[in-house]
Amino acid sequence: MKKFLSLISLVFAISVASAQQLPDVKVENAQGKVVSVRSLAQGKPMIIAYWSIACKPCIQELNAINDALEDWRKEAEFEVVAVSVDDARLKASAKAIASARGWEFICVYDENQDL
């Protein structure tokens, strides 16, 4: 668990340092609306986690983040953005997985893998 928290701390620090450098890529949110990646942070630090329905460790990582998220947010204000890199054929499955898992963070779908 300590290694996992250290990794998250590193990702968190990198995200803080490079927030202004995020590309202005358009992705689809869970409601099907196209949004800019830059608009997701809303001025907060952001952890970006890429995942695919074929990557079981990615899904396990997002489950672990979701389980710890409430405690983490008591200590720091930040956003978690899970970016599905599944193509258009698998986007519906990715949305179903995210919904079924009850992830309490932002999920977006980058079917062209632009981000």
User: Per-residue pLDDT tens for 41-70?
Assistant: 778 888 999 999 999 999 999 999 999 999
Average confidence score pLDDT of the chain: 85
Look at the pTM and tell me if it is higher than 0.85: no
Lowest model confidence (mean pLDDT) among 29-33, 40-44, 83-87, 103-107: 40-44
In whole angstroms, what is the distance from residue 59 CA to residue 2 CA? 19
How many CB atoms within 10 Å of residue 2? 6
pLDDT at 22: 77
Token couple for 113: 């893998």
Asked if the model's pLDDT at residue 4 lies above 70, the reply is: no
Average the pLDDT over 70-77 and give the result: 91
